[in-house]
Structure 1
Amino acid sequence: MSGKSHRVVVTQNFFDPDTRRYLEKAGCEVVQAELPPGSADRNMDHDTLVSLLAGADGWIVGHAMVTRELMQALPDLKIISRRGVGYERVDCEAARDLGKVVCIAAGGNDASVADHTLAMMLAVGHRLRETQANMIDGNWKILSGRDLFRKTVGIVGLGRIGKSLVQRLQGFQARILVTTRTRDAAYAETSGVEYCDLDHLLRESDYVSLHAPLTDATRFLIDAKAMAMMKEDAILVNAARGGLVDDRALLETLRRGHLFGAALDTFVSEADATYQPVTAALLTLPNVVATPHAGASTKEGLIRTNRVAAECVVAVLCGGRLNPDCVVTDGRTPPPA
């Protein structure tokens, strides 16, 4: 471990004391950004980030845009460690070109997001939002909902979160269809999942749950055509990334009465402000249950992801071994022994 003090900036609202002490014990000076109430680092502009991160060796980041221009303005910055698992807001090619390391907190929030996904499935299926709104208005009429028990659930993308969801669905005796780039026959044997193509999954599933990364290939993967393939009483769940679903097409699909409902933790409008009216309209629909990209934000999940992100920082700055599952890109040359 190096005796030098490394400056690590945290631009997240919640950073637990134990993880802070872990960094300090490793020889890091921890600086936590003070964000206005209700704000997040995604709201910080380039100049604010440059001022805050000047001289920093490490950055534990949430949802800020990490551009080539920003990284060029921060020559001392060695590692960008995301407290989360998505990295589409980081210019990874630029990071590699500039000799920086980009990491994600792999394995930290799987359970939290899987729990959240299951909760949203049940909330839409049992019409909890509609029922409570009616009761507030004095209408105690009982609405007929949908079971999850023994239903067919289609999972698009089978990473850690997808597999965590599979474990939970087994308790509902669900038939589980999976569309993924790689098919593990041994996993299918032990878990009981059935691999299939996307079209088959859409046609057969009572619930469709998205757990894929956002890439050029997956952007608007669930568009108007895909939604038309789904059962009229199916439920669509997106707790992965805004942009996997064409939200404008989803709004029109729901307004036509095709689909029982939708559960949304992510929205196109998070990255594209022109979709804000679409998001606002979706939120008004009684058969939409929505949360503000909060699936990973349990106290326990945040503590876990804080720690994984911090461990990546310590490995890079203090000469330790990086967990390969956490590495998105490593621009150091030559790499450490």
Structure 2
Amino acid sequence: MVRRTAALMGVILVTSRSFSDGDLDLVERAARAGHRILRGPAHHDLDELRSLLHGADAWIAGTGPVTEAHLAAAPKLKVVARYGVGTEAVDLAAARERGIPVTNTPGANADAVADHAVGLMLAALRFVPDGDRRVRAGDWGVRRGRELGAATVGIVGFGRIGQGVARRLSGFGSRVLAADPFFPVELVRAQGAEPVPLDELFRAADVITLHAPGGQRLVDAERLADMRRGTVLVNTARGDLVDEQAVAEALRDGTLAGYAADTLDGDTAAHDSPLLAADLVDRVIVTPHLGAQTTQAVDNMGSLSLDDVIAVLRGAEPAHPVPVPQEMR
């Protein structure tokens, strides 16, 4: 490796746990470009990050908050690269005011999350986790499930992940509905799905899978009341999309047959979520945000975020800039 002097090196703060944890050595890639990786806590606690931010030239940020206060603590910062797709935790307006571009990694984990969403559908429809628990307790009694190919599946949000789910469902033979106000209906049809309004999707689907941005409530008591009895709801997007208390009540009264999610509202702080109640264990499946945790997705997210950081630090434009919404300008 070519040695570089400290004066030429940029410091890249990384607060994503899985960065360079796949098959690719991204720490070495950064070093070859003349930069040093500095690790920080994934929760982004400002007191713990302050000294690290002070010397950082770039920040590859995980899912924790990136606030105006964080940016103010980083006088040398030239770019924030969000390790993932969602940017709702980043103060885009504050970054713009400071002239700091924000990037993300669109599509890097789409296949991984689409796989996981379909896996959760199958697990819920066929009672896989409950069956495993029963066998371990000596109970070989069976619960009759449903086939995915016989179901009408509604996809809420038809971006890269939603489209990936639709492609996978084509192999099962499911009827696929899609609701996305920002995606052209002719392109929805070209992907093998039927474009429908959101309310119609919730009324017509046997399985509903959420792939919409956070910061909105899509599933509440009113919408649950309009669903088909026995619907399965899957959420690999954001916990705040659903009213968890309303979902728990719908599971108890049979409106929902199952809820399978890769997230809870508040995530690791959600130990008291109503969906974790003991009486719902046979109808609720929760995984710990592992939808994007495949070797391939980790390599993709790390590569895209690091490449954008290196580009900015050498004075070039990043390949995946996040635009500032009009209302923030």
TM-score w.r.t. the length of structure 1 is 0.88
**Whole-Å Cα distance in 1 between the matches of residues 183 and 270 of structure 2?**
37
**1:9 and 2:13 aligned:** yes
**Which residue of structure 1 aligns with residue 190 of structure 2?**
190
Maintained 8 Å contact 1:155/1:177: yes
Partner amino acid for 1:253? A
**Which residue of structure 2 aligns with residue 293 of structure 1?**
289
Maintained 8 Å contact 1:243/1:267: yes
**Which residue of structure 2 aligns with residue 169 of structure 1?**
169
Among 318, 327, 331, the alignment partner of 2:322 is 327
Maintained 8 Å contact 2:158/2:183: no
**Whole-Å Cα distance in 2 between the matches of residues 222 and 178 of structure 1?**
16
**Whole-Å Cα distance in 2 between the matches of residues 248 and 89 of structure 1?**
24
**Which residue of structure 2 aligns with residue 333 of structure 1?**
none
**Which residue of structure 1 aligns with residue 92 of structure 2?**
92
Maintained 8 Å contact 1:156/1:208: yes
The structural deviation recorded for 1:274 is: 7.3
SS state at 1:154 partner: strand
**Which residue of structure 1 aligns with residue 31 of structure 2?**
24
SS state at 2:181 partner: coil
SS state at 1:243 partner: helix
SS state at 1:236 partner: strand
**Whole-Å Cα distance in 2 between the matches of residues 238 and 181 of structure 1?**
19
**Whole-Å Cα distance in 2 between the matches of residues 189 and 288 of structure 1?**
32
Quick one: structure 1 residues 142 and 270, their matched pair in 2 at CA, closer, same or farther if it must change by over 3 Å?
closer
SS state at 2:148 partner: coil
Matched length: 316
Maintained 8 Å contact 1:26/1:318: no
**Which residue of structure 2 aligns with residue 136 of structure 1?**
136
Larger deviation, residues 248-257 vs 139-148: 248-257
TM-score w.r.t. the length of structure 2 is 0.90
The structural deviation recorded for 1:275 is: 7.6
Question: 1:250-291 CA deviation, whole Å, 9 max, x = no partner?
Answer: 1111122221101111111239x5783435328952111111
**How does 1:72-87 map onto structure 2 within 5 Å?**
72-87=72-87
**Which residue of structure 2 aligns with residue 145 of structure 1?**
145
Maintained 8 Å contact 1:129/1:287: no
Quick one: structure 1 residues 141 and 167, their matched pair in 2 at CA, closer, same or farther if it must change by over 3 Å?
same
Question: 1:100-126 CA deviation, whole Å, 9 max, x = no partner?
Answer: 111111111000000010100000000
SS state at 1:90 partner: coil
* Structure 1: runs of 5+ lacking an equivalent: 36-40, 331-337
Identity %: 37
**Which residue of structure 2 aligns with residue 105 of structure 1?**
105
Quick one: structure 1 residues 96 and 275, their matched pair in 2 at CA, closer, same or farther if it must change by over 3 Å?
farther
**Which residue of structure 2 aligns with residue 252 of structure 1?**
249
Maintained 8 Å contact 1:269/1:279: no
**Whole-Å Cα distance in 2 between the matches of residues 138 and 117 of structure 1?**
29
* Structure 2: runs of 5+ lacking an equivalent: 1-6
Quick one: structure 1 residues 15 and 283, their matched pair in 2 at CA, closer, same or farther if it must change by over 3 Å?
farther
**Whole-Å Cα distance in 1 between the matches of residues 218 and 192 of structure 2?**
25
SS state at 1:49 partner: helix
Larger deviation, residues 20-29 vs 123-132: 20-29
**How does 1:204-243 map onto structure 2 within 5 Å?**
204-215=204-215, 219-243=216-240
